[in-house]
Amino acid sequence: MVSIIFVDESFRSGRVCWIKDIVVAVTAENMEAMRSIIQRYRHKRISLAEAGATRHRSIFNGLKALAEDQPDVVIIHDAVRPFVEEDILLRVVTAAKEHGAAGAIRPLVSTVISPSADGCLEHSLDRAKHRASEMPQAFLFDVIYKAYQQCSDYDFEFGTECLQLALKYSHTKAKLVEGPPDLWKVTYKRDLLAARSVIKEKISQEICVVMNTKDEESAGHLLKEVLKKELNCVNVTSTVLDHTGGNVQKFPTDQCYSFICVNVVSSEFQETQKFLSTLEESGLPLLYPVVVVLVHCCDLTLAPLASKMESLMWIRSLAEDMKKRNVLLSGLLLNYSKDEQKLQESFQQGASIIAALVKERSSALAGQLLLA
């Protein structure tokens, strides 16, 4: 039985099924906010412990919360390292079972030096002989709980390293496990910017093209192929939906946050609304904004552009409503020309526009009718 303690007020390992309990250390003033987050995002298996004034006091409170259940192994992790993957969690747990304690390490990015009292260089450490100690760390529950029970006030106030406590008080030499770069701490403003980009990239890894025909020559299939080329690291799937009121249940909503509906026609307001309702009911837009692009194909040499745009104005009002529900809806008018070269250019431009809408997920641009 493995439990995990998060030092700080966020967590993301609900998706690892072999972790039984998740304890989050939260300061008293944030306890209510945390409870509402757990409820709103439907997190499971979580209990809260009160955070202490220092890192070690928070961890000790987390351990006490688990003491009655006595898990075999406990993982300690920082909430400021939100991109931890299951693989490294498994590796530290396996090493902890064998050695009693284990922690992730990384090579040093900068040389470490020791300054003299007057702020000058005393000596510099050999970079090859040292490592940065990162999180997660895992311990046999007894090893780390006993160590914390023996901690001095000095340890509680000034200590930073759990592995050191296991060594000092439980005489357990931790195994060091080389971790991936994803374990970085979100510390400075630049880290927040990076974290936002990493998440945006992650949720844009899959695009579903929704079509109303299986015909391999259709606009939907053509667009899917161009999208695959334009976004070569993105998984472009497709599904056929009966737009005229059939089964809208069968689209893949698990890790897919972007839907391109091809061949939406002017009269399909109600069908689109039904599709969007199903999407909303799936709970998908709860955590991240979902991008939906309604693509209307027509030969612009036959129909005047202005009237085409006018007939699609219902997308604008629908989009305004959907924005409140975290769904970013846009319209895309694609010139389905008889001229082969013009057709290719138009699909190419359309794919670039879709890529930008998917990657940037900008709510300010929802509700626009774009033209390719």
DSSP character string of 134-150:
EEEEEEEHHHHHHHHHH
- Cβ atoms of 108 and 127 closer than 8 Å: yes
Choose which of 123, 216, 233, 340 interacts with a second copy (CB under 8 A): 123
Contact window for a second copy (CB under 8 A) among 33-41, 108-116, 144-152, 251-259: 108-116
> Cα(233)–Cα(275) distance, rounded to whole angstroms?
27
Choose which of 54, 94, 273, 368 interacts with a second copy (CB under 8 A): 368
> Cα(303)–Cα(229) distance, rounded to whole angstroms?
30
The 266-305 contact track toward a second copy, x by CB under 8 A, reads --------------------------------------xx
Q: Identify any residues that bridge with 369 across adjacent strands, giving them in sequence order.
A: 331
Q: Would you say 243 or 361 has its CB closer to a second copy? A: 361
132 binds a second copy (CB under 8 A): yes
94 binds a second copy (CB under 8 A): no
Provide the minimum distance between the beta carbon of 227 and a second copy in the complex, in angstroms, as a whole number: 13
Distances from the Cα of 275 to the Cαs of 32, 49, 309, 327, in angstroms? 36, 42, 22, 12
- Cβ atoms of 276 and 292 closer than 8 Å: yes
Choose which of 103, 136, 285, 289 interacts with a second copy (CB under 8 A): 103
Beta-carbon contacts of residue 253 (< 8 Å; ≥ 6 apart): 279, 282, 284
Choose which of 29, 44, 98, 120 interacts with a second copy (CB under 8 A): 120
Q: Which residues between 184 and 213 bind a second copy (CB under 8 A)?
A: 184-185, 187-191, 193-198, 201
Q: What is the DSSP letter of 282?
A: T
- Map residue 224 onto helix, strand or coil: helix
370 binds a second copy (CB under 8 A): yes
316 binds a second copy (CB under 8 A): yes
Q: Would you say 28 or 120 has its CB closer to a second copy? A: 120
> Cα(24)–Cα(17) distance, rounded to whole angstroms?
17
Q: Which two tokens stand for residue 32?
A: 């209510």
Provide the minimum distance between the beta carbon of 189 and a second copy in the complex, in angstroms, as a whole number: 8
What dihedral do alpha carbons 345, 318, 314, 221 form, nearest 10°? 30
Q: Identify any residues that bridge with 22 across adjacent strands, giving them in sequence order.
A: 4, 46
Q: Would you say 157 or 215 has its CB closer to a second copy? A: 157
Q: Which residues between 18 and 57 bind a second copy (CB under 8 A)?
A: none
Provide the minimum distance between the beta carbon of 197 and a second copy in the complex, in angstroms, as a whole number: 4
Q: Would you say 276 or 312 has its CB closer to a second copy? A: 312
